[in-house]
Structure 1
Amino acid sequence: MNPEARDRMSSFIDPSYRREDITYCTNVHPGQSAEEILHNLKQYVSRVKKRRGLSEMAAGIWIGARALEDLQDERMRRRFRECLEVEGLWPTSINGFPYGSFHRDRVKEEVYEPAWDSSDRLRYTRGLAVLAAELLVNAPPRFRKCSISTVPLGFRSSWNASRQVMAVKNLIEAERHFARITSDSGIRITLGLEMEPGCALEKTSDVLLLWQELRAAGLHEAEGIDDSHARGGGVSSHLGLCYDVCHQAVMFEDISESLSLLGEAHIPIFKYQISSALRVLWPSLNESERPDRQPDKMVTLEERLIPFCEERYLHQTCARGSIQPAPSQEGKSEPSLRFYVDLDKALADRARRGEEWRIHFHVPVHLNQLDDSGLYTTRDTIEELLNSL
């Protein structure tokens, strides 16, 4: 990353960062109702805070449409806020991505609905912004901010130009709403689109094109605002990104280059999600003399991957191999990528084994390798991200 791009990207990072700013997100625990989320806050998040030896801590909360409806009740909203304050938990991050249940038997592509061309998505997201400002009304100065993550427009296979136009219109309206809430409350509320494989925004290049459309359509951006998100003459907007590193790893993106391009384009990142995806190194049949590259290991790998296929979530898979060089390339070959919307589709395509697969299946972030059968992780991209900030 060149120094100028690094400076731009650093302008979106709070220089007063402390360890209590790392959040623990409740969406790993089932909880659709406000009552269930309260239980999760006390049972899990508060205990994490105590085990870390902290008196207060930032919290990440998934609030779906049902919980948001519950919290329209004044008494429930007061209970919710008082619980957070008593437990010393400040919701600086809200997961506004899954609208409905995230833990039902089948989620798959339905997690991207309603998409950003829908008035339901706009209304739900606006409601989260109002709620965030109210929940943080008594927060200490360092916690008076909230980043709300959201879907990457919609699912790519059903996306089209007319839906894109409506999504741009709705995003601009959402950004203006977030700006008004921030101005009225004094609490910085931002919206972060979260790139994800198989969606309308799956790569950095998709985001760059979207921001061209947003700016052409009137996205409000102010120069030189002195706050923790845009310092030193940077661009301030209430619309930016939630950057999940494993999503970009699955797409084989160079993380440092991705961040550099976003910095050069003045596109803010309001939230980083540290995660790791599944990585498969297939044996190369023309190197069968190597013990770790035996052809029969192909079958072992296939057997190991079958349990990762499931009915609940999509596990988008990107395969990278080598293509035969064209005559004009003078013997040079380039890596080719093939995308599969789910792991079972990739496994069914037996004729197209690549040298490496990356699968959108979250695995423990501290592991480089799952076992000795060829299953690895994208942990190195986490280090690449941290080294680029």
Structure 2
Amino acid sequence: MRFRHPDGSTVHLAYCTNVHPAEDLEGVRRQLREHCEPVRRRLGRDRLGIGLWLARDAARALVADPAALRSLRAELDARGLEVVTLNGFPYQGFGAERVKYRVYRPDWTEPERLDHTTDLARLLAGLLPDDEPEGTISTLPLAWRTGYDDTAAATARKALTALAQRLDALQDLTGRSIRVGLEPEPGCTVATTADAAAALTGPGSPPADRIGVCVDTCHLATEFEDPATALDGLAAAGIPVVKAQLSAALHAEHPGSDAERAALAAFVEPRFLHQTRTRVPDGRVLGSDDLDEALAGSAVPTAATGATAPDPAAAGAAGLDAGGLAAAAAPPSDPASAAATAPDRPLTPTPSAAPAAPAGPDGAADPAGTALPTGAPWRVHLHVPLHAPLLPPLTSTLPVLQDTLTRLVGGARPLTRHLEVETYTWQALPAELRPRTRAQLADGIAAELGLVRDLLTALGLKELP
């Protein structure tokens, strides 16, 4: 969907196809046929933007076969679909029964991440509409926080600088400009927009005209970031908002009440990681790496970020269930293969100058008496439907999305031109909220896009044919 901003520029709205995870090219074609085109028809549009997710195997197949890429482009056109942005965060296995920490591998310290993102940039240059000279890609925020040290930071910066150089060469070759945005996420090395500004400035930083930030409004809300402060901070640091993902987190106003704890428990599920945060009266944000741990009271503060990690004994017991990663048979050098045969990434805190939590006899933080506080609201990293009421008395952080969207595109000029609805957890929702058929899922996605369309037109943008 395209909108004309009052300044005359075009703002694109899409929805992300990681809600229909497909590992290979045939799966991608099937999602266009069975999901994306039906959503477009429900909206009564001749053209619909999709934020395409291409898993490693699908991307490699397209890079290896230019004819297949041309065929995919032709199919997009025939189905009334267009692509100006890709979701490059998950590498593969996003449809597995258990994803959790594995979504962060390979990270930006591993060469596979640079190679995959380079492949995505090449493909996006070939998929962009003829009248659109710029594409964007969102990527993971460097790495999960544990085990990330100065050496890892230097390696990641070097990889991002190499990516920027490759993007320059790609523009020289194709005339298409591709930019990449780190997507801050709770629990990661880059958890907030302030972390992103720190990571992308200073000596050795990649050029800002290529590498910026993807603002995800669920992640922003989960970390209790104020949209105005966050966006002003990025602007002051000279970091562009490459794209924005429009999503809402789960909000519990009184997490200590029996009713809200019971409602929260209904959202506990084994597939995705649901980081949980609360802001205490002194302004610190504390939390747990997963909702079930927060409800069980097993969270302890980390020394690195003021977030929390689970009881070390529970972390050590975490392992791979039958879901695994789809590419478990990949060569041993493939980090995804290693992730499929090893426990979830360990959760030991990273040293920093911040005060450390009390240490137990084994050097791990002592979990005694450090359960997540319940005297202030909790927010949960769980992308809930934008348009639908949740299980009472829980609500969503839709107001944070609205505030962020106003600041992104409601001013004299848009801070970003690429917007992407990203509710990928439909099938992980409680049974009462979960769509039972493809038709119901298409109805829900169309309703989300319709809500955002109304927000945009209320801000003065004009929907284009």
TM-score (structure 2 length as normaliser)? 0.67
Is 1:99 paired with 2:95?
A: no
| Contact kept? 2:288, 2:372, Cα under 8 Å | no
Unaligned runs of at least 5 residues, structure 2: 298-370, 409-465
Structure 1 residues 343-352 or 123-132, which shifts more? 343-352
Of 175, 196, 213 in structure 2, the residue corresponding to residue 186 of structure 1 is 175
Query: Which residue number corresponds to residue 30 of structure 1?
Result: 21
Distance 2:237 2:34 in 1: 42
State the Cα distance separating 1:336 from its structure 2 match: 3.8
State the Cα distance separating 1:76 from its structure 2 match: 2.5
State the Cα distance separating 1:191 from its structure 2 match: 0.7
| Contact kept? 2:52, 2:86, Cα under 8 Å | yes
Query: Which residue number corresponds to residue 288 of structure 2?
Result: 340
Is 1:140 paired with 2:88?
A: no
The AA in structure 1 aligned to 2:157 is V
Query: Which residue number corresponds to residue 291 of structure 1?
Result: none
Distance 1:202 1:316 in 2: 11
The AA in structure 1 aligned to 2:120 is L
State the Cα distance separating 1:340 from its structure 2 match: 0.7
The AA in structure 1 aligned to 2:293 is K
- When residues 337 and 126 of structure 1 are mapped into structure 2, their CA distance, relative to the original with a 3 A threshold, is same
How high is the sequence identity, in percent, across the aligned residues?
Answer: 34
Is 1:372 paired with 2:397?
A: no
State the Cα distance separating 1:18 from its structure 2 match: 5.0
Distance 1:348 1:17 in 2: 49
Where 1:382 maps in the other structure, the secondary structure is helix
- When residues 189 and 22 of structure 1 are mapped into structure 2, their CA distance, relative to the original with a 3 A threshold, is same
Work out the number of aligned pairs and report it. Answer: 330
State the Cα distance separating 1:169 from its structure 2 match: 0.2
RMSD: 2.0
CA deviation profile, 1:230-272 (whole Å, cap 9, x unmatched): xxxxxxx111111101101000001111001111222111111
Query: Which residue number corresponds to residue 249 of structure 2?
Result: 277
The AA in structure 2 aligned to 1:35 is E
Distance 2:392 2:267 in 1: 17
State the Cα distance separating 1:17 from its structure 2 match: 4.7
Distance 1:362 1:124 in 2: 25
The AA in structure 1 aligned to 2:382 is F
State the Cα distance separating 1:307 from its structure 2 match: 2.1
Query: Which residue number corresponds to residue 212 of structure 1?
Result: 201
Query: Which residue number corresponds to residue 160 of structure 1?
Result: 149
Structure with more helix by fraction = 1
CA deviation profile, 1:58-92 (whole Å, cap 9, x unmatched): 32100010111221233422321221222232210
Of 34, 37, 42 in structure 2, the residue corresponding to residue 51 of structure 1 is 42
The AA in structure 2 aligned to 1:281 is E
- When residues 270 and 163 of structure 1 are mapped into structure 2, their CA distance, relative to the original with a 3 A threshold, is same
The AA in structure 2 aligned to 1:381 is V
| Contact kept? 2:40, 2:48, Cα under 8 Å | yes
Of 397, 400, 405 in structure 2, the residue corresponding to residue 386 of structure 1 is 405
Structure 1 residues 146-155 or 39-48, which shifts more? 39-48
Unaligned runs of at least 5 residues, structure 1: 1-12, 222-236, 284-296, 323-333
Higher relative contact order by CA 8 Å / sep ≥ 6: 1 or 2?
2
Distance 1:220 1:308 in 2: 40
| Contact kept? 1:320, 1:354, Cα under 8 Å | no
Query: Which residue number corresponds to residue 269 of structure 2?
Result: 310
Query: How do 1:122-141 residues align onto structure 2 when only pairs under 5 Å count?
Result: 122-136=114-128, 139-141=129-131
CA deviation profile, 1:269-302 (whole Å, cap 9, x unmatched): 111111100001117xxxxxxxxxxxxx722222
Is 1:352 paired with 2:373?
A: yes
Distance 2:141 2:164 in 1: 15
The AA in structure 2 aligned to 1:344 is D
| Contact kept? 1:176, 1:220, Cα under 8 Å | no
| Contact kept? 2:194, 2:234, Cα under 8 Å | no
CA deviation profile, 1:281-332 (whole Å, cap 9, x unmatched): 117xxxxxxxxxxxxx72222222112112111000002233xxxxxxxxxx
Query: Which residue number corresponds to residue 458 of structure 2?
Result: none
